[in-house]
Chains A and B, each alone.
Chain A
Amino acid sequence: MNESEIAKKITGYLDRGTAELKAGTAYRLQRARQASLERLFALQHAPRLVLAGGGGNWDGRRLLVDARVWISVLLLVGAMLSYQYWQTNQQQHDIEETDAAILSSELPIEAYLDRGFQAWLKRSEP
């Protein structure tokens, strides 16, 4: 008897061994198989449910979402930069107005009631 003949006879006995599996084991194997097939079924059907009514393919939709995110970020950054620019301009404008009022002695009466202003005047006297 050559090698493959011996092997064939041995595997024949192994086949008999698998046919005689314990009922509990066979049942657990069957359940494992069903679980993996159910998982596959769920995986295959999940993307379709997400796209139902969405139109277009998944990649297109994702790109669209990405574009929306980027536009929002750009708008937010733009708004912050313009606010900062306006704030700086406004401060400059206020300082200019105060300086002009001091020089032309046209300070409003409230300025003389402000303790901080008095202190500043004393400190800045030569």
Chain B
Amino acid sequence: MPAAIIRRRRCPEDEIASHQELSQFLAEVERRAFKQALFAVRDEDAALDIVQDAMLKLTEKYAAKPAQELPMLFQRILQNTIHDHFRRQKVRSTWTTLLSAFGHKDDKDEDFDPLETLPARSDATAGSDPAQQQQQAEIVGVIEQALTRLPARQRQAFLLRYWEELDVAETATAMGCSEGSVKTHCSRAVHALAEVLKAKGITL
């Protein structure tokens, strides 16, 4: 269900979000937030950490805000947390390079659990044709891959404007840029994605 519709239907004007509303809001956005973080950082654990941090910040600092302001606030927090991740990673990688001579431990597959790789059952695709499901999964894969390859600002603008359904002004505030830049980034992102799909022979 589109976020904007949920927002309009659920949130009474200028009322502080109740515990239940906050919980409902987080449940609605958590998966998209995870995907957004994943497209940016390309690491599942880091993306999960980012979403958790963003949720904590929202509930700690902005729980007293009206429910209608939550989507915008959450997006701004999420984008800042992603930025912080990159900043920390830059510092860490400097130290890792400096200290790499002291030894290296390969624990990449230590926590691997095959059950975690199984997709969660979704009602949306439960009863449909397996071949069609396979085709759709492939298209999703292509789109997700294309998104990770987009320039960061274009991806950010596209996801906020079209996936999170923020308006141009809200997207500009969340990204900290002008409305004109948002429009340009969005347009370029859509064209780039359409080009990738066309090159793969996928018609939408």
Residues of A with C-beta under 8 A to B191: 3
Q: Are A39 and B48 within 8 A (Cβ)? A: no
CA of A28 to CA of B49, assembled, Å:
10
Count contacts between A and B, CB distance < 8 Å: 125
Residues of B with C-beta under 8 A to A6: 190, 193-194, 204
Main secondary structure on chain A at its contact with chain B? Answer: helix
A29 contacts the other chain (CB 8 A):
yes
Q: Are B144 and A14 within 8 A (Cβ)? A: yes
The 8 Å CB contact of B19, one of A3, A28, A30, A37, is: A37
The 8 Å CB contact of A16, one of B58, B117, B140, B187, is: B140
B46 contacts the other chain (CB 8 A):
no
Residues of B in contact (CB 8 Å), total 48
CA of A35 to CA of B193, assembled, Å:
36
Residues of B with C-beta under 8 A to A18: 31-32, 34-35
Quick one: CB contact mask for B142-167 with A, threshold 8 Å, 1 for yes?
Answer: 01100100000000001001110000
CB of A22, distance to nearest CB on chain B (Å): 6
Q: Are A23 and B48 within 8 A (Cβ)? A: no
Residues of A with C-beta under 8 A to B136: 13, 16
Q: Are A13 and B143 within 8 A (Cβ)? A: yes
The 8 Å CB contact of A10, one of B51, B117, B193, is: B193
A88 contacts the other chain (CB 8 A):
no
CA of A30 to CA of B23, assembled, Å:
10
- Seen from chain B, the residues whose Cβ lies within 8 Å of a Cβ on chain A are 19, 22-23, 26-27, 30-32, 34-35, 44, 48, 51-52, 55-56, 58-60, 63, 113, 115-120, 122, 124-125, 136-137, 139-140, 143-144, 147, 158, 161-163, 186-187, 190-191, 193-194, 204
Q: List 13 A-B contacts (CB under 8 A).
A: A3-B187, A8-B162, A13-B136, A14-B35, A14-B140, A14-B144, A21-B31, A23-B116, A24-B115, A29-B31, A29-B51, A33-B27, A36-B26
- Seen from chain A, the residues whose Cβ lies within 8 Å of a Cβ on chain B are 1, 3-4, 6-11, 13-14, 16-26, 28-30, 32-33, 35-37, 39-41, 43-44
